[in-house]
A and B are shown apart, each in its own frame.
Chain A
Amino acid sequence: MKMFWVGILVTTAAWGQPDLPTELEDCTGPSAEFCFDGAPALIDSGCGALFENYQGRIAWPPLRNVGPVTISVQARHTFTSQTFFPLYVEVQARRIDDPPICQDGLGGLVVLVARGADRCGGTWESIGPIDLVPFGVPLGSPYSVQCIFFRTTPSDVTVRTVGFSCIRVTSHPSILVSTSWGNVRTLFK
């Protein structure tokens, strides 16, 4: 009976919002899924990647935390565009009853600081697999990923954040399952 309730608890906690995606892959361009504070500026479009710079935050619709994630961004630095500010990638816990839409007015916790590379196509920078629970996102709960851009005053020497092209969030629930099963075995030995 004890096992039964533990099972229900784990199931409810981990799979509370089955309709939300658990992974994300998105790029700049007409089919981009993110919302943004300020209009984009083009940084570079070589080597098949469109690098843009925004003013403020861009954010994606919520994902569901089902275990550790790897978060990767493709970023481009150029001296000509003065992209000396890094790109801050953050996660932000969302409430269960939040609408599953993009919301860019939220504070977050930094998971990755990307500096980009000064070469055609930029570079992919990654963090993970990381557990989002210490970042305030309980298992089974929704969270948002957002990127923060900065820009100095509009002049000849405007300094900007590195150009952003793509983001990828990959979930690794198997790591979680093996850990949890290990814990369960330890608990009920």
Chain B
Amino acid sequence: MKHFILLQAAMLAGLLAIPNLASAQPTDLFACSSVIAPPCASVGGGAIMTACDRLFDIFYGRVAWYPLRCVGPITIAIETVAIPTTQFPLYVEVVPRLEPPAPCGNDPGYVVFIAYGVGHGCGGWETSSSIDITDLVPIGSLYTIRLHYFGNNFGSSPATDCIRVTATPATSALVSSGWGNVKTLYR
């Protein structure tokens, strides 16, 4: 009996830990590859120094930042620079987290933004419009932001440094909708 109670307590703790684990994840992201290497990167293609003495990295393949928690629409901004050998775009994908998650966010993703590189010598920010990802990632669920770079000996996707993902919580809409529902229910 004692064991049964202990087992039940352990299961309850486990159940409580799952939502807590998700809610503990950040909803926004700000990271610079020149400062901290991305948690997952296929191949590094070197770095370039911009006209403003900033280091931007060239990657080949996938770079993933994760996990983030979906709380509503997001805006993605990436600091890029285009150089004469910039021949390919940079695809930005949202990857809903599956169970069990593939290593390095290698699950199938969806393109939400494409960056082509800012042509000034100093580079600049390329910013998406507000992207509603809630049809891909339910609110409260986890996802990965994945950048897909291309390259070869003759050209590459734009060089990048910082990325910023800003979430607009849908909480206020949820609350008003919920309150409306309550009023409707108890009329």
Residues of A at the B interface (CB closer than 8 Å) are: 37-38, 55-56, 85, 88, 90, 105-111, 113, 134-135, 148, 150-155, 159
Q: A110–B150 contact, CB under 8 A? A: yes
Q: Do A56 and B153 form a contact, CB below 8 Å, given A107-B42, A110-B88, A154-B135?
A: no
Instruction: Determine how close the nearest CB of chain B comes to the CB of A152; give it in whole angstroms.
Output: 5
Asked whether, in the complex, the Cβ of A108 is within 8 Å of the Cβ of B135, the reply is no
Q: Is B119 an interface residue (CB 8 A)?
A: no
Q: Please indicate the chain B residues that have their CB under 8 angstroms from the CB of A108 in the complex.
A: 60-61
Residues in A neighbouring B94, C-beta threshold 8 A: 153
Across the interface, which residues of A come within 8 angstroms of B164, CB to CB? none
Contact residues, B74-117 vs A (CB, 8 A):
88, 91, 93-94, 102-104, 106-112
A107 and B43 within 8 A (CB): yes
Contact B135 A153 (CB under 8 A): yes
Most chain B CB inside 10 Å of its own CB: which residue of A85, A110, A113, A150: A110
| Contact (Cβ within 8 A) A56 B108 | yes
In the bound complex, how far is the Cα of B128 from the Cα of A84, in angstroms? 19
B136 close to A109 (CB less than 8 A): no
Is B153 touching A107 in the complex (CB atoms < 8 A)? no
A37 to B148 Cα, complex, angstroms:
15
A-B contact pairs, 18 of them (CB 8 A): A37-B108, A56-B109, A105-B102, A105-B104, A108-B60, A109-B152, A110-B150, A110-B151, A110-B152, A135-B152, A135-B153, A150-B148, A152-B110, A152-B111, A153-B112, A153-B136, A154-B135, A155-B135
Across the interface, B108 reaches (CB within 8 A) one of A38, A85, A107, A111, namely A38
A150 near B111 with CB under 8 A, answer yes
Cβ–Cβ < 8 Å partners of A155 in chain B: 135
Contact indicator B43/A152 (Cβ below 8 Å): no
Question: Could you tell me the distance between the alpha carbons of A155 and B135 in the complex, rounded to whole angstroms?
Answer: 9
Given A56-B108, A108-B60, A110-B88, verify A148-B152 contact (CB < 8 Å).
no
Chain A residues with CB under 8 Å of B108's CB are: 37-38, 55-56, 151
Docked-complex contact B91 and A109, CB < 8 angstroms = no
Q: Which residue of A lies closest to B113 (CB)?
A: A152
Q: Which residue of B lies closest to A150 (CB)?
A: B111
Q: What residue of chain B has the Cβ atom nearest to residue A153's Cβ? A: B110
Q: What is the CB-to-nearest-CB distance from B128 to chain A, in angstroms, rounded to a whole number?
A: 12
A88 touches B135 (CB 8 A): no
Closest-by-CB residue of A relative to B107 is A37
Known: A107-B42, A107-B43, A153-B112. 12 other contacts (CB 8 A): A37-B108, A55-B108, A55-B109, A56-B106, A56-B108, A85-B111, A105-B102, A107-B62, A110-B150, A148-B148, A148-B150, A150-B148
Instruction: Give the CA-CA distance A159 to B151 in the complex, in Å.
Output: 23
Report yes or no: A154 in contact with B106, Cβ–Cβ below 8 A. Answer: no
Closest to B91 in A: A150
By beta carbon, the residue of chain A nearest B44 is A107
Which residues from 127 to 153 on chain B have a C-beta closer than 8 Å to any C-beta of chain A?
Answer: 133, 135-136, 148, 150-153
Q: Nearest residue in B to A149 (C-beta to C-beta)? A: B108
